[in-house]
Amino acid sequence: MSTSPEGSTADRIAASAAHSGGVANSSSDDVAEAVRACARRAKEAAVQLATLTRRQKDAALHAIADALVAQTERIVAANAADVSRAERSGATAAYLDRLRLDANRVAAIAADVRKVAALPDPVGEIVRGGVLANGLELRQVRVPLGVVGIIYEGRPNVTVDAASLCVKSGNAVLLRGSSSAEASNAALVEVLRDAVAASGLPADAVQLVPGAGHDAAKHLMRARGLVDVLIPRGGAGLIRSVVEESTVPVIETGVGNCHVYVDADADLDQALAILLNAKTSRPSVCNAAETLLVHAAVAETFLPRALAALRDAGVTVHGDARVAAFDPTVVPATEEDWDREYLSLDIAAAVVDSLDDAIAHIRRHGTGHSEAIVTRSQTAARRFAAEVDAAAVLINASTRFVDGGEFGFGAEIGISTQKLHARGPMALPELTSTKWIVVGDGHVR
Amino acid sequence: MSTSPEGSTADRIAASAAHSGGVANSSSDDVAEAVRACARRAKEAAVQLATLTRRQKDAALHAIADALVAQTERIVAANAADVSRAERSGATAAYLDRLRLDANRVAAIAADVRKVAALPDPVGEIVRGGVLANGLELRQVRVPLGVVGIIYEGRPNVTVDAASLCVKSGNAVLLRGSSSAEASNAALVEVLRDAVAASGLPADAVQLVPGAGHDAAKHLMRARGLVDVLIPRGGAGLIRSVVEESTVPVIETGVGNCHVYVDADADLDQALAILLNAKTSRPSVCNAAETLLVHAAVAETFLPRALAALRDAGVTVHGDARVAAFDPTVVPATEEDWDREYLSLDIAAAVVDSLDDAIAHIRRHGTGHSEAIVTRSQTAARRFAAEVDAAAVLINASTRFVDGGEFGFGAEIGISTQKLHARGPMALPELTSTKWIVVGDGHVR
């Protein structure tokens, strides 16, 4: 299946691991070499990918979508093995639901690949350009990053999403999924590689990183010079460990302790609708609200309604004393509650005496993801937008809108909560770098 | 001089170190705490800096320029101490020249600060924006990065350049200069802080990192969460150590093994002019050429002229056998020569059999800085531009043009040779991040 020539023993170990999903009994050194061999093949593939036309890349994406549909049975069978293993190990119903693939879900994943094909090619876009006083022509154009590593947990659809976004942006991708989805990911990547190769692209554009456990991920994090960027997708623990251990540049994603601040001048009906939407429409995602802040001036009118509505929606409120005074079912908040990303039907809640206090609270406890204010005051909105330091600031809108799909990007590879390179929802342009092209006619300085 | 209130002992140690330029006898733990205290004050200052208007920032920059001129005598006296210390330790004439400040140089530095004041404010610029189908207004605006750390060697003018670019872009700056310029930097930073504070900005917008030796730099590299980005400026060794040791995100700068490739279809007069300019106009800088590649088809006509001209210009050529065949004074190149950044009147030279071989050579040995082709062939130019992976690709122009000033940026804080965040010359926009501002009217998902 691989288009690469017969290589070293390490290459063959890596290639076989990429197909079987793991090298169960190899030592750490073997894993290190297998990961590096894998990354070297990705780097070779990236050279070819960088100069493909949009037409070639879109053809490969349609071939991937066709193959996913054609190979549904095989994919679902592999997934069934993961699911029954997870069942035996006592996974929760929610976890099993996220892991499970059926024919409809495979079809939906394939449809998403076609959506990526329909998006404009970011590569070659001229970001800035012009002619200098001396006649030199200058243009800054988007180019692929090269080799993108994704370390992720849980859902096997990420395997296909990440691969299709990387193919479209001309990057080779190294995928390191969770061991619980090992069989599903192996089957999906085999289908992807076959389709990519059949379209004339290098199969090594898409690879599973070989090796079991944390070891392989660790070697991926140390492959500086071979891997251009690592994007961890998953829980706070995973992201922290990648950020701390990696010598490869990392784009930090996802942890969202998002606040909804109800200002003294809020439209309280809007505030209630936004609060409920932000907290309850999908509590398990990073753009869900985790803390409610209410200005003291509207606490008496707003909090009784809000607390009743949250209770009716099954939400446990962890409130400070001023919130608890309105409702005996409020759980007293501890200091930790202000920093928690619950990802569940729980919310921390506090009364603040001013916009300044709300901003200070968010500065202290926010994770730089998405922060909302509900207010009719132009001044308050302007100050909140300017002074809150986050990837996204929302005025009279739910935090749930901070999403590549909602922003009209057509896709998303994660939400960056760091300040370098990309901030907020990341899609195709965020998977590119730039290059300056300078054209002269014998120009010297 | 500091506007911060009386703080902890560590704060006072740090503040005094910031003024004296070093804590000679403190232990590593004390240095660590002093560096962190310094970074915390920078982070506080950054909150205020982020919301300044352009008018306030420009006023501070003009105050800095005025103060530099007014305090010339004091600055030159402090510098004289550094210079005589360097003389006693046997520094080269070139090194002493870079270190030395006189009244004219201080005036030139002040003039550069006024140039930065005249540049547009990058903060607040709308990068993308529009209205979504549901009526949500979306805009992506430039915001400061926050706290920028600069670790640099040699020239004291970098102290002022970096500070003025950071003030203009609303960032607080932590400066870690070389110990050889300790007295100069301490005097300059004292002048900067006074001027900044007199303009109503927090003095801690500009700080020298306290502590002696590598220790302080190391603690700066570990101040993740307090420092948003580190930019090392200096030799390859400094840059490598920062890249490897830092947990703070780093922008890698500067190492340039730049190639000039003379194609089969080159205008040989242009090729000669570009080669000489790229190699000899300023050999000590990162955009100077370090390797010449000549297509075999023009080797016989081009190389005798080129080798004679290089010899006349005092350049030692380290050539492969095919180059050496034309001139007995050519030094045989070793494998290391292809990877060397000489920064001197030396150049490696090789004959290649094709454009492919030239591109392959650059892929193997280039540092991703600036690569030039000289050719009249549209096809060769197009392929070189597409396939060479570097911050800048030049067609019929000298590599020496890759520079923030030449590109019309008005200033430069370094040349990034990495792919994330910024690539090529970095100026004001590269010192910013972005923030999404989403405005609705009670929008829920």
- Closest-CA distance of chain A to residue B133, Å: 9
Report yes or no: A169 at the B interface, CB cutoff 8 Å.
no
Report which of A343, A284, A345, A261 is spatially closest to residue A310, judged by C-alpha positions: A345
- Closest-CA distance of chain A to residue B9, Å: 23
* Cα distance between residue B401 and residue A444, in whole Å: 8
Q: Which of residues 41-100 of A touch B (CB under 8 A)?
A: 47, 50-51
In chain A, what residues touch B419 (CB-CB under 8 Å)? 145-146, 228-229, 433
**Does the beta-carbon distance from B435 to A390 stay under 8 Å?**
yes
Q: Any bridge partners for residue A173, and if so which?
A: A148, A206
- Encoding tokens for residue A48? 């070819």
Within chain A, all domains assigned CATH 3.40.605.10 are found at 9-245
Q: Any bridge partners for residue A253, and if so which?
A: A416
In this structure, which topology does domain A258-404 adopt according to CATH? Aldehyde Dehydrogenase; Chain A, domain 2 (3.40.309)
What is the complex's ipTM, to 2 decimals?
Answer: 0.90
* Cα distance between residue A46 and residue A42, in whole Å: 6
Please check whether residue A20 is in contact with residue A220, taking contact to mean a CB–CB distance below 8 angstroms: no
pLDDT over 60 (residue B117):
yes
**Does the beta-carbon distance from A436 to B136 stay under 8 Å?**
no
Of B51, B146, B391, the CB nearest to A387: B51
Report which of A62, A43, A14 is spatially closest to residue A226, judged by C-alpha positions: A43
Q: H or E element: which one contains B414?
A: strand B414-416
pLDDT over 80 (residue B393):
yes
Of the CA atoms within 13 Å of residue B431, those in its CB half-sphere come to: 30
Q: Is B258-405 CATH 3.40.309.10? A: yes
Of A228, A389, A443, the CB nearest to B419: A228
Of B132, B244, B395, the CB nearest to A440: B395
Within chain B, all domains assigned CATH 3.40.309.10 are found at 258-405
Report yes or no: B376 at the A interface, CB cutoff 8 Å.
no
The pLDDT of residue B362 is 98
* Cα distance between residue B41 and residue B263, in whole Å: 55
Distance of CA A91 to the CA centre of its chain: 23
Report yes or no: B443 at the A interface, CB cutoff 8 Å.
yes
Within chain A, all domains assigned CATH 3.40.309.10 are found at 258-404
Residue of A nearest to B438 (CA): A394
**Does the beta-carbon distance from A387 to B47 stay under 8 Å?**
yes
In this structure, which topology does domain B9-245 adopt according to CATH? Aldehyde Dehydrogenase; Chain A, domain 1 (3.40.605)
Give pLDDT tens digits along chain A (445 positions). 233 333 333 333 333 333 444 444 457 788 889 999 999 999 999 999 999 999 999 999 999 999 999 999 999 999 999 999 999 999 998 889 889 999 999 999 999 999 999 999 999 999 999 999 999 999 999 999 999 999 998 789 999 999 999 999 999 999 999 889 999 999 999 999 999 999 999 999 999 998 766 788 899 999 988 999 999 988 888 888 888 888 888 998 878 999 999 999 999 999 999 999 999 999 988 999 999 999 999 999 999 999 999 999 999 999 999 999 999 999 999 999 999 999 999 999 999 999 999 999 999 999 999 999 999 999 999 999 999 999 999 999 999 999 999 999 988 899 999 999 999 999 999 999 999 999 999 999 9
Q: Which of residues 122-151 of A touch B (CB under 8 A)?
A: 132-133, 136, 138, 140, 143, 145-146
* Cα distance between residue A380 and residue A390, in whole Å: 17
* Cα distance between residue A335 and residue A340, in whole Å: 10
- Closest-CA distance of chain A to residue B121, Å: 15
Report yes or no: B400 at the A interface, CB cutoff 8 Å.
yes
Please check whether residue B368 is in contact with residue B424, taking contact to mean a CB–CB distance below 8 angstroms: no
**Does the beta-carbon distance from A277 to B145 stay under 8 Å?**
no
